[in-house]
Amino acid sequence: MADEVMMEEDFPCPCGKGTLRIQVLEHDTWVSGRHSRWTLRCDDCKENYREPFLVNALVKREQCEEIERRRQIIYERGQLVGNVAVERYLPQFRDHVKSLKFKTAMHDAIGGHMSIQKFRDTTRFGSGLDEAIEAGLKRNPARALKRIGVEDAEITAELAEIAREELAVKKFIEEIPKFPIPAIDYR
């Protein structure tokens, strides 16, 4: 049980002294689809380049660290907003969700971050439903507040600021020089 290399190809690395090896992998015992893995075979580039999450390109290490720093700040701000929403509106949101007749409606109200089957399994016993309700409110306070018909100017303003920061990170990523990671799986 391992990943099988379906194809591989070498490309010049960003500095040109070594190579960037791209491999297309497929698990040999279960269908997981194909995925790519890359390896820098250049000591200079290994030290100086990283691949930020969801960028599919190599960028300078410092820029990658800046992207991750900004994303972490956005994540932490989102957690704080979610916690404020839980403190203020959890009882109302819990009552709303529990008043719904069907698990599919509850799943939709909470935000549907997991499959309906997993939701049913998770919320069947004990405090599973209460935990899912709280997690849904924390993860997406705007959706939850809309569901219960509440407008909270402070939470709305903070969410708008987070959205502006996300756009700023996106713009930062677009503007930095990138070394694209080639796609070699053309099936």
Q: What is the pLDDT of residues 61-80, one digit of tens each?
A: 999 999 999 999 999 999 99
pLDDT for the residue 79: 95
Question: Per-residue pLDDT for 32 more than 80?
Answer: no
Shared-domain flag, residues 84 and 154: yes
Shared-domain flag, residues 30 and 119: no
Q: Is 163 helix (H, G, I), strand (E, B) or coil?
A: helix
Question: Per-residue pLDDT for 53 more than 70?
Answer: yes
Shared-domain flag, residues 77 and 166: yes
Q: Which run of H or E residues covers position 11?
A: strand 3-12
Give domain status of residue 56, yes or no: no
Give domain status of residue 134, yes or no: yes
User: Using CB atoms within 10 A of its CB, is residue 111 exposed (0-12), middle (13-18) or buried (19+)?
Assistant: middle
pLDDT for the residue 30: 66
Shared-domain flag, residues 80 and 158: yes
Shared-domain flag, residues 43 and 82: no
Give domain status of residue 100, yes or no: yes
pLDDT for the residue 136: 93
Question: Per-residue pLDDT for 111 more than 90?
Answer: no
Shared-domain flag, residues 21 and 82: no
Shared-domain flag, residues 109 and 159: yes
Query: How many independent structural domains does the chain possess?
Result: 2
Shared-domain flag, residues 93 and 134: yes
Boundaries of domain holding 120: 69-173
The Cα–Cα gap between 45 and 56 comes to 16
Q: Which of 49-63, 123-137, 157-171 has the highest mean pLDDT?
A: 157-171
Buried b (16+ CB within 10 A) or exposed e, 112-144: eeeeeeebeeebeeeeebeebbbbbbbbbbeeb
Give domain status of residue 23, yes or no: yes
Shared-domain flag, residues 161 and 84: yes
pLDDT band at 187 (very low <50, low <70, confident <90, very high): low
- Give residue for tokens 């959205």: 163
Contact 163, 81 (CB under 8 A): no
Shared-domain flag, residues 73 and 160: yes
**Whole-prediction pTM value?**
0.80
Shared-domain flag, residues 39 and 84: no
